A and B are shown apart, each in its own frame.
Chain A
Amino acid sequence: MATQTKTASAARTGFFPVMFAVVLGLGLITLTGHVQAAALHDAAHDVRHATGFPCH
C-alpha cells in the first residue's frame, strides 16, 4: 500500500477513500437540497428552486 501511494498519479485510489468522498458529497447534496427541516428549507429555498430540486 505504501509503495502504491508514492507513485501518486498512477496509483489506484483505495475503495474506502472513494466511498467516503461519495457519501460525503451525497450527504451535502441531501442536506442543502432535500432535508425538509424548516430552517434548512427556508435558508436554501431559492437555491432548491434554481437548482431544480423538488422543494416543497
Chain B
Amino acid sequence: MFSRILTSALFAGAAAGLIAALLQLVFVQPVLLHAELYESGELVHFGAEAVSAHPELPGMFSELTRDALSVIFTMLTYTGYALVMVALMSVAEGQGHTIDGRTGVLWGLAGFVAFHLAPGFTLAPEVPGVAAADVYARQVWWFATVAAALVALWLIAFGGNLISYLIAAALLMAPHLIGAPEPDVFTGPVPTEIGALFAARAFGIGLVAWVLVGAFAGYFWQTEGKRAAATA
C-alpha cells in the first residue's frame, strides 16, 4: 500500500512541479529579477528622477544553474505536497470517498487554500527586498496556519454538520485575527507595483500548479490501484 502512495505522489509531484517551475520561470522570475534591481540598489525608487518601468532585464534562462536549481527545488516541493495529499486521499478513500482525476481537482483547490492562500492572506508572497519580521517567527506562524487550514478544510469536506463548519471557520480566521509576525519598520526599496504583481503572479501560478497536483494525484492513485489489483 505504501508503494502505491509513493508511486502516485512521485509521478504527480514531479509532473506538476515541472509545469509549475516552467510557469514560474516565465511569469514570476522576470518580476523577481526586476525587484532585485531595486533590492541591490541598481535602481532607486522615489529618487530625483522618475524610473522606467521597463528596464533591461537579464534574458530568460540567462542563468542556467540558478534556473535549473529552481526547477529541481520546485519539483521537490510539489512532490512533498503530493506525498501529503495522496496519503490523505488514501484515508478518504478508505472512508468510501471517490478518488480520481476529477475529484482530485477539488483536492488541489483545497491544497492551494491550505498551503498558499491561508498563510499568504496575511504573510503575502514576498518580493525580494521587502521588510519582514524574524524568519523563524514567520515560519512558526506559517506552519501553524497551514496546519489549522488543513484541519479546517478536512472538516468542511468531511465533517457534514454545523458544528464542524463553525470550528472550520474559526480555525481559518484565527491565525489572521491573532496576526502574523510583522516588521517593526518598512524598509522595502521595491515599488509597490512590482510587489503587487509578484504576489498576484505567485498566487496564480500556485493555483494552477495545485490543481494539477490534485488532478494528477487522483489520476495516478486510481490507475496505480487498478494496476495493483490486476497484478494481485
Contact = CB atoms under 8 A, between A and B. Distances in A.
A9 B69 contact: no
Interface in B75-134: 76-77, 79-88, 90-91, 93-94, 116, 119-120, 123-128, 132
B2 A12 contact: no
Contact of B84 (A17, A21, A36, A54): A21
Contacts of B168: none
Interface string A37-56: 00000011011011111111
Contacts, number: 144
Contacts of B205: 50
Interface residues on A, range: 35 or more
A19 B226 CA distance: 23
B211 to A, nearest CB: 15
Interface residues of B, number: 58
B91 A13 contact: yes
A36 B21 CA distance: 21
B177 interface: no
B181 to A, nearest CB: 9
B206 interface: yes
Contacts of A43: 69, 73
Given A31-B76, A47-B24, A50-B74, 11 more contacts: A13-B87, A17-B1, A18-B5, A29-B77, A29-B81, A46-B32, A49-B32, A50-B24, A50-B70, A51-B77, A55-B128
